[in-house]
Amino acid sequence: MVVSGRLGRFVVVAVTLMMFLPMALFPQRPRGDSLLSGISSGKTRVLDLSYAINDKLVPWPGDKRWFEAQVNATVEKNGYFTRSFWMLEHYGTHLDAPIHFPPGKATVDQIAAKQFFGPAVVLDVREEGAKDADYQAPVSRVEQWEKKHGRILEGSIVLLRTGWAARWPDAQKYRNQDAQGKMHFPGFSAEAAKLLILREVSGIGCDTMSADYGASEDFAVHHLVLGAGLYQLENLSDLSGLPEAGAFLVVAPIKLDGGSGGAVRVFAIWQ
């Protein structure tokens, strides 16, 4: 059948809309070769950035108890195996919720779910940290990343790769305390934190005990970042396998009612 004239032009327009409207409305709908569908086939890489929880991890100086577990039932006696455990909120690979430091308000269970998913921005400061254990990543380090990879996207999660994970779980080397008990390891600077807040990132993280550098006494980064409603990831495991850009993070903290933070599982995925 041949349709001509005004009706013909209408049919052509209608068919064209039918072909391209779904693409316009759903430009990012999953495809067979998408990031997520490639996980099962091995095409997409998955890296676990969390330490397994036990009583041998490095606690914050001064903590007297940090993790305890006991068997409640055994297969031999009960036909099944269960344990109970107790641990600090801020131990091992964990998340700091905004309420952890003023003027932050949100508890870990109140953080919006969308903040737990975002592009990974990796600031590699291993060289600087090796030369200066008190290194604080400056604004210029963030600007260098943006010059190379483009402006940091809203909702990104910014990770500081210091190389300190190589010292884990040796408490003496990881804390790097001096004769007065003050710790020394790299962290974010307050100025860099302010810029990342302006970029509207969802959170920041590090492979050290604190987002602030070890010798900090005022925890300026904690106050700024948590006060702005972001979260912090601390004691992340080895970040050396992550690209500076191109990975996507999935952050899965324990949903602890009223928690100031808690244990977290962090996955990086990329192709």
CA distance 155 to 141: 19
pLDDT of the residue at 143: 98
pLDDT of the residue at 36: 87
Please provide the average confidence, as pLDDT, over all residues in the chain: 91
Please give the structure tokens belonging to residue 74: 């055994």
- pTM, to two decimals: 0.87
Quick check: 12 pLDDT over 90? no
Q: Which of 90, 88, 31 is nearest to 231 (CA)?
A: 90
Position 9 confidence tier, pLDDT thresholds 50, 70, 90: low
CA distance 246 to 162: 19
Position 144 confidence tier, pLDDT thresholds 50, 70, 90: very high
How distant, in Å, are the alpha carbons of 10, 125, 157 from that of 78? 74, 52, 45
- Taking the CA atoms of residue 35, residue 53, residue 59 and residue 100 in that order, the dihedral angle to the nearest 10 degrees is 60
pLDDT (mean) for 26-47: 73
Count of alpha carbons within 13 Å of 191, Cβ hemisphere only? 8
Measured N-to-C along each axis, helices 190-198 and 139-149 cross at an angle, to the nearest 10 degrees, of 40
Residue 118: phi, psi to the nearest 5?
180, 165
Residue type present at position 69 = A
Residues in the chain: 271
CA distance 28 to 114: 17
- Taking the CA atoms of residue 165, residue 240, residue 245 and residue 150 in that order, the dihedral angle to the nearest 10 degrees is 70
pLDDT tens, 209-237?
999 999 999 999 999 999 999 999 999 99
192 and 138 in contact (C-beta within 8 Å)? yes
53 and 92 in contact (C-beta within 8 Å)? yes
pLDDT tens, 233-263?
999 999 999 999 999 999 999 999 999 999 9
Count of alpha carbons within 13 Å of 114, Cβ hemisphere only? 4
Please give the structure tokens belonging to residue 106: 């949100």
pLDDT of the residue at 34: 83
Please give the structure tokens belonging to residue 193: 């934190």
Instruction: Write the class of the CATH domain 46-270.
Output: alpha beta
pLDDT of the residue at 204: 98
Please give the structure tokens belonging to residue 179: 């004769």
